[in-house]
Copies of this chain bind each other. A is one copy, B any other.
Amino acid sequence: MLAQHFSTKERILGAAEDLFARHGFAGASLRQVTAAANVNLAAVNYHFGSKENLIEEVFRRRLDELNARRLAALAAANADGQADLEQVLAAFIRPALELSLDKNGGSAFVRVLARAYAEHNARLRRFLSDNYGHVLKEFANAFARLLPHLGKEELYWRLDIVSGALTYAMADFGVIKRKSGVSEQTHRERAAEHLIRFAAAGLRAP
């Protein structure tokens, strides 16, 4: 399945990402994963220790970069004076879009991320909040500065709605189907544009 010039660990991570996206964490077996990765069944427990650890590594591999990109984009937006709402939204949304366009399984990962929300699994939520928490805080602060008329609770509600819409849209759960003449890249870029416009108006609501 995956090219031979990737290491065993990388091939497992890639195959796991793809199969977790398609069948869920419980629904994808290590036998399916190792078969798709063209490695021995025992390799998962040798390199990762357990299936649970493998799941966490699938997240860590992508989230580290996603978080870094989001913070960098936010810093860049703030660098030239006060950023406007659309710029901050873009700093949050565009890195997720770019990730979803990554050649090596990025589009699978955004769907895995959406599944993580559906799993109320305590260990996974804790892991994600440890890796995500400070990023969300930074963005909440940026939004609070731009929307001073909103109370703190009101703001949190709206940001929650935004991340829900983002998760759902990037994971392609909706009914909108990509038209045959439109490339996957263009399709997702349009999704991001619509999302930013919609979210900006929603956040500005009185």
Footprint of B on A, CB under 8 Å?
Answer: 22-27, 111, 114-115, 117-120, 129, 136, 154, 156-158, 160-161, 163-165, 167-169, 171, 173-176, 190-191, 194-195, 197-205
A-B contact pairs, 9 of them (CB 8 A): A23-B26, A24-B27, A111-B118, A160-B169, A161-B168, A164-B168, A165-B165, A168-B168, A201-B204
A173–B115 CA distance with the chains assembled, in angstroms? 10
Residues of B within 8 A of A26 (CB): 23-24, 26-27
Residue of B nearest to A120 (CB): B22
A117–B27 CA distance with the chains assembled, in angstroms? 15
A164:B160 contact, CB within 8 angstroms? no
A188–B204 CA distance with the chains assembled, in angstroms? 22
Residue of B nearest to A136 (CB): B175
Residues of B within 8 A of A114 (CB): 118
Main SS class of interface, A? helix
B111:A158 contact, CB within 8 angstroms? no
Residue of B nearest to A132 (CB): B175
A179–B192 CA distance with the chains assembled, in angstroms? 32
B23:A171 contact, CB within 8 angstroms? no
A201:B205 contact, CB within 8 angstroms? yes
Residue of B nearest to A193 (CB): B157
A22–B191 CA distance with the chains assembled, in angstroms? 30
A161:B171 contact, CB within 8 angstroms? no
Residues of B within 8 A of A169 (CB): 160-161, 164
Closest Cβ of chain B to A203, distance in Å, is 8
Residues of B within 8 A of A160 (CB): 169, 174-176
Question: Which of these, B129, B136, B194, contacts A154 with CB under 8 Å?
Answer: B194
Task: Taking A156-B176, A160-B175, A198-B202 as given, write out 16 further A-B residue pairs in contact, using a Cβ cutoff of 8 Å, ordered by the A residue number.
Answer: A24-B25, A24-B27, A24-B118, A24-B119, A114-B118, A118-B118, A136-B175, A156-B175, A157-B176, A160-B176, A164-B167, A164-B168, A165-B168, A201-B204, A201-B205, A202-B205
